[in-house]
């Protein structure tokens, strides 16, 4: 995620990902659509509806994975969506234990790297 997105822009991405046909976008989506389209995270379809691009879906998935990793670090066995849990397990960032999934040393290193990049 080399583009710095605000909380509002991430919220707009979330809303675009759940936007169904013939539903008017919210004010949050309208406010952020120009920037999200400009950085190629969203695009307008031929019918005028907004949709996420592949890059936008990847950024949103990365955000979900980071949030999931933080929640597991804070509480062993924290609930995760199946796709996030599968990815974090596959990359050995979390491991299954009798108490639920727990963050590994590699996962802690990843979180430390993410936090170091933000400074």
Q: What's the confidence (pLDDT) of residue 82?
A: 94
The closest of 111, 102, 58, 110 to 80, measured between CA atoms, is: 102
Q: Give pLDDT tens digits for 68-99.
A: 999 999 998 889 999 999 999 999 999 988 88
- CA dihedral sign, ordered 72, 78, 80, 85: positive
**CATH 1.10.10 location in the chain:** 61-118
Kindly state the average pLDDT of the residues 1-15: 85
**Using alpha carbons only, what angle is made at residue 15 by residues 73 and 39, rounded to the nearest 5 degrees?**
90
Distance (Å) of CA 83 to CA 12, 62, 63, 116: 21, 11, 13, 26
Q: In three state form, how does the secondary structure of 48-76 look? A: CCEEECHHHHHHHHHHHHHHHHHHHHHCC
Angle between helices 7-18 and 54-74 (to 10 degrees): 110
Counted residue by residue, the chain has a size of: 119
Higher pLDDT, 2 or 71: 71
Q: What's the confidence (pLDDT) of residue 47?
A: 86
Question: If pLDDT is split at 50, 70 and 90, which confidence band does 1 have?
Answer: very low
Class of domain 61-118: mainly alpha
Provide, rounded to the nearest whole percent, the portion of the chain with pLDDT above 70. 97
């Amino acid at each position: 995620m080399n583009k710095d997105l605000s909380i509002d822009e991430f919220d707009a991405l979330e809303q675009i990902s759940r936007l169904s046909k013939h539903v008017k976008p919210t004010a949050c989506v309208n406010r952020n659509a120009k920037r999200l389209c400009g950085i190629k995270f969203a695009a307008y379809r031929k019918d005028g509806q907004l949709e996420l691009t592949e890059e936008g879906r990847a950024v949103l998935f990365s955000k979900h994975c980071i949030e999931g990793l933080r929640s597991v670090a804070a509480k062993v066995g924290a609930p995760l969506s199946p796709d996030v849990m599968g990815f974090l397990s596959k990359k050995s960032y979390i491991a299954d234990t009798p108490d639920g999934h727990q963050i590994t040393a590699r996962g802690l290193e990843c979180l430390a790297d993410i936090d170091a990049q933000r400074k």
